[in-house]
Amino acid sequence: MGHDKLRKFAENRTFSCLLQPDAADVLDRSSADAGLHLKEHPIRGHWNEKMFDAPRPIVLELGCGKGDYTIALAERHPECNYIGVDIKGARLWKGAKYATQQSLGNVAFLRTRIEFIGAFFAPGEVAEIWLTFSDPQLKSENSRLTSPLFLERYRGFLAPGGRVHLKTDSRFLYEYSLATARANGLTVLCADTDIYAAEGDTLGPTDLGMTGMASDLLTVQTFYERMFLEMGLPITYLSFLLDHDGPFVHPADFDADYWRRAEGPRRTFSHQRPKQLKQ
């Protein structure tokens, strides 16, 4: 491990805005059943009192990387508390250090696997979830952050009427997420295949029910988003409510093979826009 990573890991331990639990704190190994069994972390239900300077609606960004999107939203919207979640401590260091230096009382970070997220939040504790440029997991449906498996986890702590926002360059993940939302009868608030297109833009505060959200979508950008835009790739956006009471089902009409082919070699960051998506 490089000296720079070691330095960041050491400094991470000094940031009061960064929670770094051990896996043993949330994994219940006493069960004889196969599968993932979690136990409640002490922070569960107490984020507003223990991690922020005032109680406010809580917004999660899952897979936040260096935390630039979490930080930008927090600075724009002091009326909410923001938590960036990622497993990479060296990435979280940047956001946690900035939040500490700027004394941002409405920012926190959590270092954990997203599979463990249910151990950290009580029912109704979270108002919104952001998924920004998540790995589309082309071959593993249950690993996609909008799969029925993850939607069930989110429902465990998302407040009634809570929103899920997906912002991605992956048309595969966008189409899969939209198909999943429709298959489960979820209320789709906005579905846009190119938020920066000059024509046919569907975004707007009225459509989204949130003042200023359209501006945030277009001007708050992650490192990857800026890179994809420079490559000429369209950025998609999907927003929906988890207003569904029964079991979540997989989308039967999603053509994974087609959208996987259309995706192309996106993870090499060197591909051209697929011809199938130019229409």
Name the residue ranges covered by the structural domains of the chain: 3-277
Task: Check 135, 194, 201, 207 and give the catalytic one.
Answer: 135
CB contact at 8 A, 117 and 83: no
Active-site residue flag, 245: no
The pTM score is 0.89
Closest CA to 145 of 50, 81, 43, 63: 63
CB contact at 8 A, 276 and 207: no
Q: Could you give the 3-state DSSP secondary structure of residue 246?
A: coil
pLDDT in tens, the chain (279 residues): 677 888 999 999 999 999 999 988 899 877 656 678 899 999 999 999 999 999 999 999 999 999 999 999 999 999 999 999 999 999 999 999 999 999 999 999 999 999 999 999 999 999 999 999 999 999 999 999 999 999 999 999 999 989 999 999 999 999 999 999 999 999 999 999 999 886 544 544 444 444 456 778 888 988 889 998 998 889 999 999 999 899 999 999 999 999 999 987 655 443 344 443 333
pLDDT digits (tens, 9 = 90+) for 10-24: 999 999 999 999 988
Closest CA to 224 of 93, 79, 109, 68: 68
- Tokens representing 12 are 């991470």
With 0-12 / 13-18 / 19 or more C-beta atoms within 10 angstroms meaning exposed / middle / buried, residue 152 is: middle
pLDDT of residue 140: 95
Looking only at the bridges linking them, the beta strands covering 81-86 and 107-111 are parallel
**How large is the greatest C-alpha to C-alpha distance in the chain, in angstroms?**
56
In the CATH hierarchy, which top-level class contains the domain 3-277?
Answer: alpha beta
For 57, phi then psi, to 5°, come to -60, 140
Q: Residue 110: CB partners within 8 Å, gap ≥ 6?
A: 18, 19, 83, 84, 85, 120
Cα distance between residue 96 and residue 255, in whole Å: 40
What distances in angstroms separate CA 161 from CA 123, 125, 240, one per listed residue? 13, 12, 10
Q: Residue 168: CB partners within 8 Å, gap ≥ 6?
A: 131, 132, 133, 134, 136, 174, 235, 236
For 218, phi then psi, to 5°, come to -90, -25
Cα distance between residue 171 and residue 100, in whole Å: 36
